[in-house]
Amino acid sequence: QVSLVESGGGLVQPGGSLRLSCAASGFTFDVYAMTWYRQGAGKEREVVAAISWDSSDIEYADFVKGRFTISRDNGLKMLYLQMTSLTPDDTALYFCVRGWRGGDHWGQGTQVTVSS
């Protein structure tokens, strides 16, 4: 079965950095686009970034552009989100999702908290 397991979240101070990882299994990872979503407390889920199967197409939400980098390693079946210059507004549960801005399969999420 499809499995997406996020890791790397935690508590960081404003201005700090985190690298999120998503380990994929149970499907042919290298034919699917992948997306990072996030959901803050009391907020709707929103797209953070998306990446095509071969990394030729990448899109970022305006609120993270220039601060976050999405990448993938098809050999390792891994998806990554490098986050820098974090602010409290980035506090959210971050999800790894199969598809281009899609939602057919979701991971369990990893919590990112940005606070002093």
Q: Per residue of the chain (116 residues), give pLDDT as tens.
A: 999 999 999 999 999 999 999 999 999 999 999 999 999 999 999 999 999 999 999 999 999 989 999 999 999 999 999 999 999 999 999 999 999 987 789 999 999 999 99
Q: What is the mean pLDDT of the chain?
A: 96
What type of residue is 110? T
pLDDT, position 65? 84
Pairing of strands 10-12, 110-114: parallel
What type of residue is 65? K
HSE-CB of 86 using CA atoms within 13 angstroms:
24
